[in-house]
């Protein structure tokens, strides 16, 4: 038997969708970044972010969205905005009772995407 992957340890798709919902709602209340999401379709962003996390953590789901570079290109996203997003992710993981090891792994995956998101 293989050790459970991050997707499984996060509790699978249903738990990841809840997490994505909490992250989105935190973004809407985060003064550093909320202006970025004024025109967003909440359900659609949550759907795409859920797929992205599931796919990126070892789940069987396909990701139907755009890649990170294409998505964020031209938005001129700052380091401060990037940290604000990471802050929201950490808070959401804490509120959902995600374990330390899983938090660290998801945070490291998120951090590694910085070159495809900040000032691209
Ligand atoms: C690790 C960090 C991040 C991840 C994993 C991430 C992931 C995503 C994903 C999966 C999408 C949907 C892609 C699509 O539309 O096809 C998206 C859209 C978007 N992201 Fe990010 N993102 C990150 C950081 C940021 C940052 C720092 C900002 C700026 C504050 C930002 C602003 C946006 C905006 C404005 C959209 C479009 C939302 C909409 O369609 O209404 N993202 N992101």
Query: Ligand 1: which of 68, 108, 120 to mutate, judged by most atoms within 8 Å of the beta carbon?
Result: 68
3-class SS letters over 58-112: CCCCCCCCCCHHHHHCCCCCCHHHHHHHHHHHHHHHHHCCCCHHHHHHHHHHHHH
Task: Say what the pLDDT of residue 86 is.
Answer: 98
Question: Domain limits at 77?
Answer: 11-116
Residue 13 predicted with pLDDT over 80: yes
Q: Is residue 22 part of a domain?
A: yes
Q: Is residue 65 part of a domain?
A: yes
Q: Is residue 66 part of a domain?
A: yes
Query: What would the mean pLDDT of 41-52 be, rounded to a whole number?
Result: 98
Residues with C-beta less than 6 Å from any ligand 1 atom: 33, 36-37, 40, 45, 48-49, 52, 65-66, 71-72, 77, 81-82, 85, 110, 113, 117
Number of domains composing the chain: 1
Q: Is residue 108 part of a domain?
A: yes
Q: What CATH number did the domain enclosing 92 receive?
A: 1.10.490.10
Band of pLDDT at residue 16, cut at 50, 70 and 90: very high
């Amino acid at each position: 038997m293989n050790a459970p992957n991050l997707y499984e340890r996060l509790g699978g798709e249903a738990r990841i969708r809840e997490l994505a919902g909490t992250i989105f709602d935190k973004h809407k209340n985060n003064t550093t970044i909320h202006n970025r999401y004024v025109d967003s379709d909440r359900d659609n962003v949550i759907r795409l972010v859920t797929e992205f996390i599931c796919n990126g953590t070892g789940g069987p789901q396909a990701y139907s969205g755009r890649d990170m570079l294409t998505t964020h290109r031209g938005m001129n996203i700052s380091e401060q905005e990037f940290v604000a997003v990471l802050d929201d992710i950490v808070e959401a993981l804490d509120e959902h009772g995600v374990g330390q090891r899983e938090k660290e792994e998801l945070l490291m995956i998120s951090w590694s995407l910085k070159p495809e998101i900040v000032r691209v």
